[in-house]
Amino acid sequence: MDQTVFETVYRGRQGALNHMAYMRTGKVLLALRALAQAGIRLSGKSVFDYGFGAGTFYRYCPKDSRLFGVEMDEQNVRDVQTMLTDGGWQADLQKIDLAEWNLHPLLKKSYDVFLCSHVLEHLPDPVDFLRAVRPAVAPDGVFLGLVPVNEWVTNPHHVHSPDRAMVTRWMEAAGYELLSYEENDPFTYHTMALFAVDSGWRRVAAQAVSLGLGIPASLMGGRAWFALGTVFAKLTGARPVQAVFLCRPLSAPAR
């Protein structure tokens, strides 16, 4: 599957309103919810984000956390690094070459939190990837994953359509213990068709929906927002569109 569309999608999109877009904040708030429910605080922790996109998750991290990550687009890497450095965060962000991704030096280190948000569904073999990055999760650290669920519209960029059973198989086969799994975030279920395209009027409409949801979500915070989501789902019949899960490596494999 050709993923080149993602190589330049975040260029020049570092404004406050860009970061409020729901396609960013919805993922971040759900990830933070999973960490909070597990009693995991990011203060003083090392956080690695594989495929950090626009870097929105980093903006929610405490200033004393140590941030790491990789992305494909060199210009985007520079832009996010500058944003974080200017904002007072400690960050080491680097470009990754997908042809030799498993040799990247940042993956030779280990981290307290290894975030992988909406990446696994794009990979031909998620288990191989998960096995390869397992040494990068500290023995007492966690792998934090997010994937789309309940997709009633085909997304041409997705190789897999994950559900709980699939995620469980992936993690067990790769040598992780599944600590928690939650499906949540029903807000874009009925407008999913807008988010499965890369151009045209539906793309413009998707951006409008994303900003229209992202602003109140950012202002309300995850706890109130997802409580509202429960009500929204009951009233509209919407199903969750994201799953978030926490895992821990079963052992520390040899590097």
In degrees and rounded to multiples of 5, residue 71 shows phi and psi of -150, 165
Q: Cα separations (Å) of 11 from 56, 87, 93, 153, 245?
A: 13, 19, 15, 27, 29
The answer to whether residue 91 is domain-embedded is yes
Q: Cα separations (Å) of 26 from 52, 56, 79, 202, 221?
A: 14, 10, 22, 20, 10
CATH number at residue 223: 3.40.50.150
pLDDT of residue 96: 95
What CA–CA distance (Å, rounded) separates 46 from 90? 10
pLDDT of residue 13: 65
Q: What number of residues does the chain have?
A: 255
pLDDT of residue 179: 97
The answer to whether residue 87 is domain-embedded is yes
Q: What is the pLDDT of residues 220-252, one digit of tens each?
A: 999 999 999 999 999 999 999 999 999 999 975
Count of the separate structural domains present in the chain:
1
Mean local confidence (pLDDT), 198-202: 83
The answer to whether residue 11 is domain-embedded is yes
Beta strands in 57-205 (DSSP E): 66-71, 90-95, 111-117, 137-148, 176-184
Residue 160 has pLDDT above 90, yes or no: yes
Residue 228: CB atoms within 10 A of its CB come to: 15
Across the chain, mean pLDDT equals: 92
Q: Can you list the pairs that 75-80 forms with residues at least 24 positions away whose Cβ atoms lie under 8 Å?
A: 75/8, 75/11, 76/8, 76/10, 76/11, 79/10, 79/11, 79/12, 79/14, 80/10, 80/14, 80/52, 80/54, 80/55
**Helix, strand or coil for residue 148?**
strand
Residue 7 has pLDDT above 70, yes or no: no
The answer to whether residue 16 is domain-embedded is yes
**Proportion of the chain above pLDDT 90, given as a percent:** 84
Count each helix (H run) and each strand (E run) in the chain, helices first: 8, 7
The answer to whether residue 128 is domain-embedded is yes
The answer to whether residue 255 is domain-embedded is no
Q: Name the nearest CA neighbour of 164 among 175, 172, 154.
A: 172
Could you tell me if 192 and 158 are in contact, meaning their C-beta atoms sit under 8 angstroms apart? no
Q: Can you give the pTM of this predicted structure?
A: 0.92
Longest CA–CA separation in the chain, Å: 51
The answer to whether residue 254 is domain-embedded is no
What CA–CA distance (Å, rounded) separates 142 from 192? 30
Determine the structural domain holding residue 50 and report its residue range: 4-249
Residue 148 has pLDDT above 90, yes or no: yes
Q: What is the pLDDT of residues 123-147, one digit of tens each?
A: 999 999 999 999 999 999 999 999 9
What CA–CA distance (Å, rounded) separates 145 from 143? 6
- Check residue 96 and report its DSSP letter: -
Q: Name the nearest CA neighbour of 22 among 200, 216, 238.
A: 216
The answer to whether residue 114 is domain-embedded is yes
Q: What is the pLDDT of residues 75-119, one digit of tens each?
A: 999 999 999 999 999 999 999 998 899 999 999 999 999 999 999
